Amino acid sequence: MTGHTLDDQAETLLLRLLRGSGTTGLAAMRPGPQHPLLTIRRLDTEAVCSELGIEPVRDRSNDDPSLWRNRVRHELIPLMADIAERDVAPILARTADLLRDDDLVLDALADDLDPTDARAMAAADPAIARRALRRWLTESGYPPDAAAIERVLDVAHGRAVACELPGGRRIERSRQAFRIVPPER
């Protein structure tokens, strides 16, 4: 059995913050069957295992200081706790929960937009337009970065007639409709 704990949730939020994620990434791991221990602390989980005579398998890579996650775990979170003079893991996990709720609302609003309609994208709130475009491009087989989304919004606003996307793809606008042009072969 494997399980991510509340401590892992806090680490995930910080790692994604360091990578520049939006609300979807900062919402961290979604609670559910795949992550049943997200409300339980790592030390509590270890104590239960000890009480039941279960020897947890420990991933030796968790001690490798060259990995970001481990530096966040062993350096950043303790430093944050020292600065805040309190345990920050529950605060970070609660922040992920709040952002997850916000993320669901933004997803619902983006559902009402046609991401191929350049005029609708230009008129929409930028946060909703970005989300609709990101979903459309991802579902089309191209998960975009933030810069690509901004280039597509430039096309929507008429600041560009088309834009290049990594991987040789291109977004073009014709009659206010976007289309993805595959790379030339």
pLDDT of the residue at 167: 83
**What are the sequence ranges of the domains in the chain?**
6-103, 112-181
Fold for domain 6-103?
Rossmann fold (3.40.50)
Please state, in angstroms and rounded to a whole number, the distance separating the CA atoms of residues 76 and 79. 5
Q: Are 163 and 155 within 8 A, CB to CB?
A: yes
To the question of pTM greater than 0.85 for the whole model, the response is no
pLDDT of the residue at 54: 92
**Residue 140: which of 161, 116, 156 has the closest Cα?**
116
Please give the chain's pLDDT, 185 residues, in tens: 568 999 999 999 999 999 989 999 999 999 988 888 899 999 999 999 999 999 888 888 988 999 999 999 999 999 999 999 999 999 999 999 999 999 999 999 999 999 999 999 999 999 999 999 999 999 998 889 999 999 999 999 999 999 999 888 999 999 999 999 988 76
Residue position matching structure tokens 């600041």: 159
Which residues 6+ apart lie within 8 Å of 47 measured at CB?
Answer: none
pLDDT of the residue at 143: 87
Helices 6-18, 89-111: inter-axial angle, 10-degree rounding: 60
pLDDT of the residue at 1: 56
Give me the amino acid identity at 20: G
